[in-house]
């Protein structure tokens, strides 16, 4: 019934958007989907008002069909397989082949029609978080509309009234559907592209899953004790880096659809919170920050000038949120000689992992169950990067084409600008305790 086209890494989304089958104009818009977690280049608008498109971290923007001046999108709610990072896949629910679903980009004043087809085993709906719209388009099943039953397609239609940052997610069996990754980003661009211009505009959602070691499906009853903390359903080192050329103005928009707050921190630069849930902040109300807390259900747009070349960490500042497969129900063994202990416990409890001190050594020496990420897994130019989860790198380079979003590799610092080992007099002997 539907034609189905898959996109893979590097496929030209702009070409695909203009190639939407003309013969299908009388039918539902073609379903465009991807099974890749690779970051796609921004989708330049092939029609409608011009704007600088956003770059979705480890994601992509949904092409549309322009029909009689209305932008028509087709979302398909369905089970998907998401690679959280190399070595771990999650069986999630999402949209158009992935979780999160594709980013939807429109322009202030656009008339938008979204077809939503339900291929889940249960009913769903879509709520357009933050939008001004007619009450009957708000997507709360039972309150504003009947739920979309399996196999049905519903149509949402409204005018994008306010430029800003938005999200979409189900408002039906939310504890199940959001715990399984049903969510997506929405950006409404200014009608005037000269307003608040930036050179790079990154977007992603904060999400969290509770996936027991060795399993694939998140538990849907977990409220707080998640073990997989992700940027756009990717955990470091699976998260793509964000890149910028020295001197460029960078915007990063983050939406939080987890069940706790996340203090998001950028190294080496100050930023301003230029946008909140309710729209753009006035320039006189902005103050510099290096960390901004994003509460549950909130969206924030931060902006800064890429002032210093390098590989700058960008992460949630809750240290347990920059860990993979974190188990919290473990005793504190800090200071204890752990090697013999771990061996003894390991003979009684297969797969036992202790915690508290010397974590990276423990990580290196312990076999992991299948489909399970080590807590800290990244490798950098100087050794292990003891991070996982909600962590990525902002890579600022002096030479980078303005439309280049590829990973430029590790930073090569100027000689004499890296912390170095003291090679002079040794420190005084430790006092006896
Ligand atoms: Cu966090």
* Interval 90-128: pLDDT, tens: 999 999 999 999 999 999 999 999 999 999 999 999 999
Per-residue pLDDT reduced to its tens digit, 417-432: 999 999 999 888 887 6
Distance 313 CA to ligand 1 centre (A): 14
pLDDT for the residue 15: 40
Per-residue pLDDT reduced to its tens digit, 232-264: 999 999 999 999 999 999 999 999 999 999 999
Ranked by mean pLDDT, which of 38-42, 331-335, 356-360 comes out on top?
Answer: 38-42
Distance 89 CA to ligand 1 centre (A): 21
Q: What percent of the chain has pLDDT over 70?
A: 84
pLDDT for the residue 353: 52
Distance 317 CA to ligand 1 centre (A): 6
Per-residue pLDDT reduced to its tens digit, 279-295: 999 999 999 999 999 99
Q: What is the mean pLDDT of the chain?
A: 89
Distance 165 CA to ligand 1 centre (A): 20
Own/partner long-range contacts of 380-388 (Cβ < 8 Å, ≥24 apart): 380/311, 380/410, 381/410, 381/411, 384/360, 385/236, 385/237, 386/359, 386/360, 387/236, 387/313, 387/315, 387/322, 387/323, 388/85, 388/235, 388/236, 388/237, 388/322, 388/323, 388/324, 388/325
**Residue that wins the pLDDT comparison between 342 and 156:** 156
Distance 261 CA to ligand 1 centre (A): 6
Beta carbons within 8 Å of 265's beta carbon, 6+ residues apart: 290, 291, 313, 314, 315, 316, 317
Beta bridge partners of 124: 148
Confidence check: pLDDT of 332 > 90: no
pLDDT for the residue 374: 81
Spatial distance between the Cα atoms of 352 and 117, rounded to a whole number of angstroms: 44
Distance 254 CA to ligand 1 centre (A): 12
Confidence check: pLDDT of 206 > 80: yes
pLDDT for the residue 346: 63
pLDDT for the residue 324: 84
Distance 40 CA to ligand 1 centre (A): 25
Contact 32, 61 (CB under 8 A): no
Distance 375 CA to ligand 1 centre (A): 15
Distance 162 CA to ligand 1 centre (A): 29
Distance 386 CA to ligand 1 centre (A): 16
Q: How confident is the model at residue 373 (pLDDT cuts 50, 70, 90)?
A: confident
Spatial distance between the Cα atoms of 290 and 301, rounded to a whole number of angstroms: 13
Spatial distance between the Cα atoms of 312 and 395, rounded to a whole number of angstroms: 6
pLDDT for the residue 416: 95
Distance 255 CA to ligand 1 centre (A): 12
| Structure-token pair, residue 235 | 């955990």
pLDDT for the residue 349: 58
Distance 316 CA to ligand 1 centre (A): 5
pTM here? Answer: 0.87
Per-residue pLDDT reduced to its tens digit, 25-65: 568 999 999 999 999 999 999 999 999 999 999 999 999 99
**Residue that wins the pLDDT comparison between 64 and 346:** 64
Distance 228 CA to ligand 1 centre (A): 11
Distance 243 CA to ligand 1 centre (A): 22
Distance 231 CA to ligand 1 centre (A): 10
Distance 321 CA to ligand 1 centre (A): 5
Distance 342 CA to ligand 1 centre (A): 29
CA angle 158, 159, 164 (to 5 degrees): 115
pLDDT for the residue 357: 44
Distance 263 CA to ligand 1 centre (A): 6
Distance 146 CA to ligand 1 centre (A): 35
Handedness of CA 157, 134, 55, 153 (dihedral sign): negative
- Whether residue 237 has a cis bond before it, omega within 30° of 0: yes
Closest CA to 94 of 114, 119, 75, 77: 77
Q: Where are the beta strands (DSSP E) in 18-148?
A: 31-34, 55-56, 65-67, 70-85, 88-95, 104-107, 111-118, 127-129
Distance 108 CA to ligand 1 centre (A): 31
List the single range of 218-222, 280-284, 342-346, 398-402 with lowest mean pLDDT. Answer: 342-346
Spatial distance between the Cα atoms of 390 and 229, rounded to a whole number of angstroms: 6
């Amino acid at each position: 019934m539907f034609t189905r086209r898959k996109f893979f890494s590097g496929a030209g989304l702009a070409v695909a958007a203009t190639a939407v089958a003309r013969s299908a104009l009388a039918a539902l818009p073609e379903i465009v989907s991807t099974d890749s977690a690779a970051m796609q280049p921004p989708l330049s608008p092939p029609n409608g008002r011009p704007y600088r498109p956003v770059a979705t971290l480890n994601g992509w923007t949904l092409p549309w069909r322009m029909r009689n001046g209305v932008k028509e999108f087709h979302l398909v709610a369905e089970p998907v397989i998401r690679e959280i990072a190399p070595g771990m896949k999650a069986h999630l629910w999402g949209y158009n082949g992935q979780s999160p679903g594709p980013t939807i980009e429109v322009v202030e004043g656009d008339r938008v029609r979204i077809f939503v087809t339900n291929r889940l085993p249960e009913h769903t709906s879509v709520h357009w978080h933050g939008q001004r719209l007619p009450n009957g388009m708000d997507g709360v099943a039972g309150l504003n509309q009947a739920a979309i039953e399996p196999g049905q397609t519903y149509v949402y239609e409204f005018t994008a009234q306010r430029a800003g940052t938005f999200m979409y997610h189900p408002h039906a069996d939310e504890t199940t559907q959001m715990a399984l990754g049903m969510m997506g980003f929405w950006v409404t661009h200014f009608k005037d592209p000269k307003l608040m211009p930036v050179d790079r505009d990154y977007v992603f959602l904060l999400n969290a899953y509770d996936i027991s070691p060795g399993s694939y499906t998140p538990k849907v009853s977990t409220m707080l004790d998640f073990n997989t903390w992700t940027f756009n359903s990717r955990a470091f080192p699976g998260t793509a880096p964000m890149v910028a050329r020295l001197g460029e103005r960078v915007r990063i928009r983050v939406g939080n659809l987890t069940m706790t707050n996340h203090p998001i921190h950028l190294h080496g630069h100050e930023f301003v919170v230029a946008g909140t849930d309710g729209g753009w902040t006035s320039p006189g109300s902005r103050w510099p920050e290096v960390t901004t807390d994003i509460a549950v259900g909130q969206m924030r747009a931060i902006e800064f000038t890429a002032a210093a070349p390098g590989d700058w960490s960008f992460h949630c500042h809750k240290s347990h949120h920059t860990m993979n497969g974190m188990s919290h129900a473990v005793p504190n063994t800090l200071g204890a000689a752990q090697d013999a202990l771990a061996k003894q416990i390991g003979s009684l409890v297969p797969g036992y992992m202790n915690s508290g001190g010397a974590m990276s050594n423990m990580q290196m020496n312990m076999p992991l169950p299948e489909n399970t990420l080590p807590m800290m897994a990244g490798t950098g130019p100087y050794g292990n990067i003891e991070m996982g989860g909600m962590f990525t790198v902002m890579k600022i380079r002096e030479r980078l084409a303005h439309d280049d979003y590829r990973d430029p590799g590790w930073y090569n610092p100027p000689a004499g600008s890296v912390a170095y080992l003291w090679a002079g007099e040794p420190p005084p002997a430790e006092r006896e305790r």
